[in-house]
Amino acid sequence: MSTTAKELQQTVASLIAPGKGILAADESGGTIEKRFSAVNVASTQESRRDYRELLFSTPGLNEFISGVILYDETIKQQNTTGVPLPDLLKAQGMLAGIKVDSGTVPLAGFPEEKMTEGLDGLAKRLTEYKQLGARFAKWRAVLTIANGIPTHGGIANNAYALARYAAICQDIGLVPIVEPEVLMDGDHTIETCAAVTEQVLNVVFHALNKQRVVLEYMILKPNMVVPGVQCTVQASPQQIADATLRCLRRTVPGAVPGITFLSGGQTDAAATENLNAMNVLGIKNPLPWQVSFSYGRALQSSAIKSWHGEASNKEAAQQALYLRARLNSAAVRGQYSAEMEAL
C-alpha cells in the first residue's frame, strides 16, 4: 500500500469512528452573516473567529465529533492565543477538513438549474490546505425538485464535477466528502424525493467510477429522503428511514465506508430522530456502511442562540453544542429517544 493510500485509510477510519460524526462549520461569508444577524451579532473577522474558536474548544466534543469542516477564512485563522485553528482541532482530538467548492451559478444551457464551481486551480488550493492541516475536503452539489427539473443534464454535469473533485483530492492525499444534495424546498412528495435521489446517486457513482475514484477512501454526504417542506403530507421518522435506506441500498456500493447525512434544513430534533430511526433499522438488518451525521445548523443553532456574541455566554453555548453532539452520537448507535432532549 502506498503512503498516500495509508494516509487516506487512516483519515477515513478516524472520520467514521463508531458513534462519531462531523461538524460542518464551513458557512460562507453570506451564510454566517445571516446566522449572526438572527442573534443580533455583527459578522466581522474577529466575531467569526471567536465563535468558531468557541465551538472548536468545547470540552469533550471529540467524544462525539471526529472532524470539523472549515471555510477558507477559518483554516487560515489563529485563536486568541495564536494557535492556528486546525492545530486547535488536532489538540482536541478532531481532524480538520475544508470546503473547497466556490458555490453555485446558473448552469449554462439549463438556466433553471445550478452548477457548482471550483475545479479551476483546485489541485493547487488543496495542496495549500493540506499544508495548513486539512485531512479531508468537501464539495456540495445542489439539485432542486420542480417542474421538469432536475434534468439528466443538470444531474450529470454536477456529478462530473463531484467526481473530478474527488479524484483530485485522493491524488493529493485528502479524503473527499461527496455531497449531492437534493433540496427539501418545494411541495414534492417523499416518493418523488426518493425517485430523484436514487437517480442522482446512480449518476454520481457512475461518474466516480469513470474518474477512478477509490470508493474505500471517500465519504458520501447525501440528503435524507423526505417530503418537500411545503408538501401537505409529511412523513414519520420510520417512513423517512425506510425510504432513505431503500434508496441507499439500491445505489451506494458497499465499498463506501461511511455515509454522513446533511441535515438540509430539518430541525435539530428531526435530524437526530430521523438518523436514529435509520440506525435502529440498521441494528435489525445490518448496513454495509457506517451511517452518521455531518450537520451544520442542526448542531450549531442552539449554541449560537446561547452565545449571542457575548464572551460571558461561552460556557452555555459550548454546553448546547455538546448536548446536540451527544444526542446525535446516541442516534448513530440507535439509542436516541425524545426524552433525552430534556436532560
d(C-alpha 177, C-alpha 136), whole Å? 7
* Helical axes 190-210 vs 237-251, angle rounded to 10°: 30
d(C-alpha 98, C-alpha 106), whole Å? 24
Look up 341 and say whether it is catalytic.
Answer: no
Q: Give the residue from 128, 124, 133, 44 showing the smallest Cα distance to 85.
A: 133
Q: Which position among 114, 130, 138, 221 bears the catalytic label?
A: 221
CB 182 within 8 A of CB 143: yes
d(C-alpha 148, C-alpha 142), whole Å? 16
Residue partners of 189: CB distance under 8 A and separation at least 6? 227, 228, 231, 233
Q: Give the residue from 126, 205, 134, 215 showing the smallest Cα distance to 168.
A: 126
Torsion of CA 186, 190, 195, 198, to 10 degrees: 100
Q: How many residues are present in the chain?
A: 343
**Looking at 162-246, which runs of residues are DSSP E strands?**
175-182, 219-220
Residue partners of 238: CB distance under 8 A and separation at least 6? 277
d(C-alpha 61, C-alpha 281), whole Å? 27
Q: Which position among 27, 53, 113, 179 bears the catalytic label?
A: 179
Look up 181 and say whether it is catalytic.
Answer: no
Residues with a catalytic annotation lie at 179, 221
